[in-house]
Amino acid sequence: MSLTKKDWILLVLKQASLDRIHIMKAAFLIWHRSGRNIPDYFEFIPYLYGPCSFEVYSVLGDLQTDGFILQPPHPLPRWVNYHLTDKGKREAEQATKRTPHDTLRVIGQVCKEISHLGFFGLLQRVYAEAPDFAVNSMFRGVIK
């Protein structure tokens, strides 16, 4: 049984609580390191900050509405981490059982690599691996 887009986000957040930009880049790197060939996966475009799939935003919204994840409010406009709820943890556990070991390894490796990176470091990592998705980035000039 193949994974849904919701499953992929839950599997990422099972590894680490991440903010929206880290989730976006994790989802991209998982696809990129899987030979850019995952059936029914998010479709990425080279956007203003590099690879972006607007579907990631809508899936995050759906997961939040359905009570699988939560994002504490923050008084300032900053990226704030999403966390799995108990319901989300159970769903992520089920998704893990349906996921091949190699795929879980890629997800774990990507999350481990990027979870500690700041914004610049995150973009550096992604642009180095996939320069074709950095072509429209506003940050290309300042990311060395």
Partner 1 sequence: MTLILVIPSKEGLVMASDGQVTLREVKTRAKKIKKLNENCVWGAAGDLPLIQLVEGSIAELSNKERNLQNLRKDLSELVPQCVKNLPQGPPYDATFIFAEHETFARILIVDVHGLSIMLEDVPFAIGSGTLFAFTLFQKYLDLMPAGIDNRLAAVLAYGIIAETIEVTEGVGPPIDVWQLPPAENLTKEQLTGLEDTCTGLREAEIEMFLKAVKS
The residues of the shown chain that bind partner 1, judged by CB under 8 A, are 20-21, 24, 47-49, 52, 54-55, 57-58, 61, 76-79, 118-120, 136, 138-139, 142
By C-beta, is 59 or 107 nearer to partner 1? 59
Contact 34, 106 (CB under 8 A): yes
10 Å Cβ neighbour count for 16? 17
Given a contact cutoff of 8 angstroms between Cβ atoms, the answer to whether 98 and 107 are in contact is: no
User: Quick check: helix, strand or coil at residue 47?
Assistant: strand
Nearer to partner 1, 101 or 144 (CB): 144
Q: Closest separation between CB of residue 87 and partner 1, Å?
A: 23
- Give the shortest CB-97-to-partner 1 separation in angstroms: 30
* Residue number, 1 or 142, with CB nearest to partner 1: 142
Tokens 């080279």, located at residue: 46
Question: For partner 1, which is the closer residue by CB, 39 or 118?
Answer: 118
Q: Which amino acid is at 85?
A: T
- Describe the chain by its helix, strand, coil percentages, rounded to 5: 55, 10, 40
